[in-house]
Amino acid sequence: MSVHILMYPYPTAGHIIPLLDLAHKLLHLPRPAAAAVAVTVVVTPENLHLLDPFLASSSSLQPLVLPSPEPPRRPTHRRGASSPPSAPSASSTSLLSRWFESHPSPPCAVVSDFFLGWTHRFARDRGVPRVVFSPSGAFALSVTFALWRDLPRSDEGSTVSFARLPNRPGFPWSHLPQVYRIYEAGDPEMERYREDAIGNIESWGIVVNSFDGLERAYLDHLRKDLGHDRVWAVGPILPAEGDSSAGPVNRGGPSSVSASEVLTWLDACPGGSVVYVCFGSRAVLNQRQMDELAAGLERSRVRFILCARQSSRGGHVAASDIGAVPEDFEAQVAGRGLVIRGWAPQVPILRHRAVGTFLTHCGWNSTLEGLSAGAVMLTWPMGAEQFVNAKLLVDELGVGIRVGEGLEKIPKAEELARVLAESLRGDLPQRVRAKEISGTAQDAINGGSSDKDLSDFMRCVDEQRKSKMHTF
């Protein structure tokens, strides 16, 4: 009898893809490290295409298509973006329940995104363990748990300190996740999010897309804080080099430049001479940010790839102020600059020998991809947990250089040009440290700590299945 796992990602590419990569790793665990594994992935119709390369590589992975969630309401009492939907519609819940109850071999565990705290109750009611999948790191997860459990409040100009966390970090109020800041204490919507966060804290276990050599202090903190050892660091969860079965090149959406064209362009560049600039799958620059960025790239004289989003889904920029690449920009940087509009093949780009620096919004997927490639990280966080990740990169790991902070600190073109050029130096301390961490990342997923945690996770799930102990 196989170990059947239901995986429920939050329905955006940045959350779906790492969970699919995790499924791919579980399905290809060596025997007898794991019993036979089957995975069902909940997916919405518009995201079904993301499963195509994974479905082609394994018959043990199947989709469960549910309707898209209702759009979140936009708070009116505070300025800010809409908050992420966490609860599904009643029809989706009913369909999921009927599927679960009628399946000839129902799942023995639910692995779901940390935005979906309600699935803890869903799994508990069916007598199976729920495991939180955190697409963020252990540092950000520790901050999130402390926020929603303790509910600290502050003013815009004040700092919130986390005295119980390692290194006692503190953050300006504006650097905390917006979904926490936009609600007043006691707001019913805030209480719903807190209930989901507590569901994450109370869940049976947590799988973190990180590795011991990167965040050991925060992983140990989570184990102590939660009162159990069921915290598995299994990252970096990335496709292996040369592994086409997981679709490492075509992983997101349409692009103005094919992956082969991008890699051919990079092939013509000297080693470590290119700055890659990308702000993730959701963040979009406003016009002022874009103008300074473009001017800085032009004046720096460095080779670069710029991934420019053309629509805003992340909520940080009003639709009327989406930053367009200046009309004459590409002509001015011809020969040393490549502009990609749409999805960029980020993992192959960062792994290419020509890329030495990554200017990033510090989303966790991008953070791990940059660290794994040994790139110097220029940080420009925009929201969510990105300010936490930037602090980790700059202050704790020593691989990052601060460039900007959302709309608050937009770098001037002259200073940005200087930092871009400086970041490509081969003897830069951040580069030396980045190469060290890259080696540690590779060790973790080549028989090291992350591989051991992944095998231990499957062993624990299988033991729970066999014991039929319904104490979750």
**Residue positions annotated with a catalytic role:** 15, 113
**Cα–Cα distance between 202 and 114 in angstroms, integer?**
12
Nearest to 139 by CA among 386, 436, 381: 386
Radius of gyration, CA atoms only, the chain: 22
Rounded-to-integer distance, Cα 79 and Cα 181, Å: 10
C-alpha 438: how far from its chain's center? Answer: 18
**Sign of torsion over alpha carbons 397, 398, 400, 406:** positive
State the angle between helix axes of 429-444 and 212-226 in degrees (0 to 180), rounded to the nearest 10. Answer: 70
**Which H helix or E strand runs over 231?**
strand 231-233
- The overall longest dimension of the chain from CA atoms, in Å, is 66
Dihedral pair phi/psi, residue 299, rounded to 5°: -75, -25
Q: For residues 299 and 450, what is the distance between their CA atoms, to the nearest angstrom? A: 42
Phi, psi angles (nearest 5°) of residue 296: -65, -40
Tokens of 198: 């507590």
For residues 142 and 335, give the distance between their C-alpha atoms in angstroms, rounded to a whole number: 45
Spell out the residues 6+ positions from residue 401 whose beta carbon is closer than 8 angstroms to its own. Answer: 376, 377, 378, 379, 394, 419, 423, 430
